[in-house]
Amino acid sequence: MLRLRVGFLLIAMVLSVFAARLLQLQGLDSESYAEMAAAEGAVTVVLPAERGDILDRNGQALAQSVDGLMLVADPQMTRDQAPEIARFLSRQLDLDYFQTLTRLRKPDSRFQYLARQVPAAAVTEALEKADTLGFKGLASRNDPARDYPGGDVAANLVGFLGTPDPRKGTHPLAGFERTFNALLAGQDGSAKYQVSRGNRIPLAESTVVAPVDGRDLHTTIDRDLQWFAQRVLRQTVEDARGDSGLVVVQDTRTGEVLALADHPTFDATRPLQSPKGDLGSRAMSDIYEPGSVEKVLTMASLIDAGLVTPHTKILVPPELHRQDRVIHDWFTHGYLRLTLAGVVAKSSNIGTVLAADKMAARTLGDYLSSFGLGKVTDVGVAGEAAGLLPSGTALTPQTKDRIAFGQSLSVNALQMAAAVNTIANGGVYVAPSLIQGSARARGGQVVGTDETTTHRVVSRRAAHQTMLMMERVVDPEAGVAPGAAVPGYRVAGKTGTAQRVGEDGRYDGTFTVSFAGFAPADDPRLTVYVVVQNPRNGGGGGSVSGPAFSRIMGYALRHYGIPPTGTQPSRLPVEWRPR
């Protein structure tokens, strides 16, 4: 019995020691042990979410993400071999020899960037080679890169990213990259696990929060058409010695913007080499007075209200004295007998004002507002200007006279293109869009083709008759812009040569020349709008923008395989004879 008791006592004592030790480990020192354990081979890595691509309408990349690495050096280790390493890197990765050499020899430093955002494959290959050559002190770190394969193609819309901050991550600076960052960026994940000699220990504790990759942004832009529009525009602006220019190509039926070109623009792969003013889209952020292109909106409104027809006879005087000033035409003439179609074909301001006299100022303002003027198109481009459409007390009879032929109101290019597109689309306004499907922009508004709205502005008949008048503009005899014709196709269009408002708010003697039109005229599929600011070669809407319109429209029609309709163009009389 005694032996048994002693045995139990011994066991109890041993167990008490165990319990005490357990209490110490788990209760009192647990945190320090946990820290020691965590420090021993535990690794936490950020699993970067892949940024979504920005694609054109055919899925071609306008901006894509690439696994990137940064190449870093420890100068204390590289100093001795600096010239050899610099020569090797300048050959392998195309780095600047002298800059690299300086960094490899930097005194009192243990960390130097040698190259950033280099595609991972190139850095890995270089490091492997450096290893075999015996170079020490080089390393790589994660540094996601963004590639813009098109360079300047659609750069005005796509925007660009700044150099990523090691802590804050990507840094979108402009364009869709910035507006739709929430959609593109995704959510970084993280993984925590135990590592022994570079290998993950199986069955050890590990936690993984999977990254959520960013979503791709599908735009309505057609990369090839966008490129072509940009090249034609650049040539046009350069040849006319203009300040800037822009092109809008819109699908008539859906309102999708197929190309939106700006010149000058920038190379998205090297954004900082361009002036700051070129880093956005002037087509969206700049407003200007549209000039005679606006006349087609006035005419469509007048016809829709039943006040005139294309055959309405107008006697156009050499000049028109109005309340506070004299209205001139762009060409000197005596008394002209023009039909309404003739007024459009010859782009007569006086004729337009006389025709618009039949309509009240407010009614005209309402029509123009319905055409989308004075309101932002809200297609997802930040910094869009709404334009200026006088209303209320600002809409005096004198203002209305000038609005009728496109002065004293200002628009952005997409607004104007969408307004002309309304005539092409049988009188129904289609809200333009730049994003396929739908996406939430930075401001919280949802934009895209899914959100497209339409409303009727003028009757189908009014739109058709306006189209017939616009067809006379490109007629070699009747019209002022034969250069805008597209061989084989029926084209309806309108020139514009508007005075530009200078810095001080006055007309400064420079011009905005433009051409807007659509084809095939009797079954419109595409609307193209070309604007050149301040041409210095003395050209107007017909001679500067017209040929550019013709080229871009011709290319787009071929590109989309739209055949000519084969019907005869309109022969509306432009003049009338007294009986």
Partner 1 sequence: MSSPAVQVRSRVPRLADLSVARARLSVVPRTTGPASTMPFVLLVTVLLVGGVVSLLMFNTSMQQASFTATDLEQQAATLSAREQSLQMDLERLRNPQRVAEQAHRMGMVLPAASGFLRLSDGSLLEPGPVTNPVPALRLRPLPPPKPEILLPERVVVQAGHQRAGGDTSTASPAAGPRDGRTGSTQRHDRG
Using the contact rule CB under 8 A, the part of the chain among 23-31, 198-206, 277-285, 433-441 near partner 1 is 198-206
Q: Report the candidate in 488, 536, 57 with the shortest Cα–Cα distance to residue 249.
A: 57
Considering only residues 136-155, where is the footprint of partner 1 by CB under 8 A?
147, 149-151, 153
User: How many angstroms separate the CA atoms of 421 and 427, rounded?
Assistant: 8
User: Can you tell me the distance from the alpha carbon of 423 to that of 527, in angstroms, rounded to the nearest whole number?
Assistant: 10
Residue list 283-302, contact with partner 1 (CB under 8 A) = 291-292
Contact predicate 341/574, CB 8 Å: yes
Among 91, 325, 362, 571, binds partner 1 (CB under 8 A): 325
Binding-site member from 42, 77, 93, 122 for partner 1 (CB under 8 A): 122
Instruction: For partner 1, give the closer residue by CB, 158 or 462.
Output: 158
Which residue number, 336 or 486, has a Cβ lying nearer to partner 1? 486
| Least distance to partner 1, CB of residue 103, Å | 24
The radius of gyration of the chain's CA atoms, rounded to the nearest angstrom, is: 34
- DSSP 3-state assignment of 465? helix
Least Å distance between CB 479 and partner 1? Answer: 8
Q: What are phi and psi of 225, to 5 degrees?
A: -65, -40
Would you call 416 exposed, middle or buried from its count of C-beta atoms within 10 A (0-12, 13-18, 19+)?
buried
Which is nearer to partner 1, 114 or 240 (by Cβ)? 240
Residue 496 near partner 1 by CB under 8 A: yes
CB of 555 to partner 1, least distance (A): 7
Pattern of binders to partner 1 over 17-46, x per CB under 8 A?
Answer: ------------------------------
Q: What phi-psi label fits residue 20: left (phi over 0), alpha (psi between -120 and 50 degrees) or beta?
A: alpha
| Choice between 79 and 559, CB closer to partner 1 | 559
- Which of 220, 301, 295 lies closest to 258 in space, CA to CA? 220
From 210-218, 417-425, 517-525, 553-561, span contacting partner 1 (CB under 8 A):
553-561
State yes or no: residue 463 binds partner 1 (CB under 8 A).
no
Residues 59-118 close enough to bind partner 1 by CB under 8 A? 60-61, 64, 66-67
Name the amino acid, one letter, at 231.
R
* Contact residues for 16 (Cβ-Cβ < 8 A; gap 6+): none
Out of 27, 334, 505, 578, the only residue in the binding site for partner 1 (CB under 8 A) is 505
Report how far residue 306's alpha carbon sits from residue 557's, in angstroms, rounded to the nearest whole number. 34
Q: Name the β-bridge partners of 260.
A: 248
328 sits near partner 1 (criterion: CB under 8 A): yes
Give the span between the Cα atoms of 135 and 81, in whole angstroms: 7
| Residues in region 420-439 near partner 1 by CB under 8 A | none
539 lies in the site for partner 1, by CB under 8 A: yes
Task: Return the range that interacts with partner 1 (CB under 8 A); candidates 9-17, 41-49, 226-234, 250-258.
Answer: 226-234
**Binding residue for partner 1, selected from 96, 224, 523, 575, defined by CB under 8 A:** 224
Told to check if 332 binds partner 1 by CB under 8 A, we report: yes
Q: Binding residue for partner 1 (CB under 8 A) from 162, 211, 482, 573?
A: 482
Residue 199 binds partner 1, judged by CB under 8 A: yes
- Minimal distance in Å, beta carbon 112 to partner 1? 23
Per CB under 8 A, 156 contacts partner 1: no
Distance CA 157, CA 279 (A): 9
Please work out the total of residues on this chain that contact partner 1, with binding judged by CB under 8 A.
92
CA 456 to chain centre: 27
Look at residue 395 and give its three-state secondary structure.
Answer: coil
Q: How many whole angstroms separate alpha carbon 419 and alpha carbon 427?
A: 10
According to the binding rule CB under 8 A, does residue 305 interact with partner 1? no
- Parallel, antiparallel or unpaired: strands 257-263 and 244-251: antiparallel
- 408 scored as a contact of partner 1 (CB under 8 A): yes
Whether residue 73 contacts residue 81, with contact meaning beta carbons closer than 8 Å, is answered with: no
In angstroms, the CA 1 to CA 392 distance is 114
Asked if 538 touches partner 1 (CB under 8 A), the answer is yes
Choose the stretch contacting partner 1; rule: CB under 8 A; options: 18-26, 84-92, 274-282, 493-501: 493-501
**524 is an interface residue for partner 1 by CB under 8 A:** no
Contacting partner 1 within 361-380 (CB under 8 A)? none
- Segment contacting partner 1 (CB under 8 A): 34-42, 391-399, 428-436, 518-526? 391-399
Tell me whether strands 61-66 and 257-263 are parallel, antiparallel or unpaired: unpaired
CA atoms within 13 A on the CB side of 542: 16
444 lies in the site for partner 1, by CB under 8 A:
no
Segment interacting with partner 1, rule: CB under 8 A, options 109-117, 196-204, 356-364, 375-383: 196-204
Minimum CB–partner distance for residue 82 and partner 1 (Å): 28
**208 sits near partner 1 (criterion: CB under 8 A):** no
Helices (H), 105-147: 120-133
Separation between Cα atoms, residue 306 and residue 319, nearest integer Å = 27
The rounded distance, in Å, linking the Cα atoms of 281 and 261 is 8
390 lines the binding site for partner 1 (CB under 8 A): yes
Query: Which residue in 354, 294, 286 sits closest to 320, CA to CA?
Result: 354
CA distances from 454 to 250, 253, 441, 521 (A): 15, 10, 21, 21
Backbone CA torsion sign across 344, 347, 352, 355: negative
CB of 325 to partner 1, least distance (A): 5
Q: What amino acid occupies position 416?
A: M
Out of 27, 202, 334, 444, point to the residue binding partner 1 (CB under 8 A).
202
- Considering the complex, what minimum distance in angstroms separates the CB of residue 26 from partner 1? 26
Query: Closer CB to partner 1, residue 377 or residue 412?
Result: 412
Cβ contact 313:337 at 8 Å: yes
Which region, judged by CB under 8 A, interacts with partner 1, from 77-85, 130-138, 233-241, 571-579? Answer: 233-241
- Residue 383 binds partner 1, judged by CB under 8 A: no
List the one residue from 344, 433, 551, 572 that touches partner 1 (CB under 8 A): 551
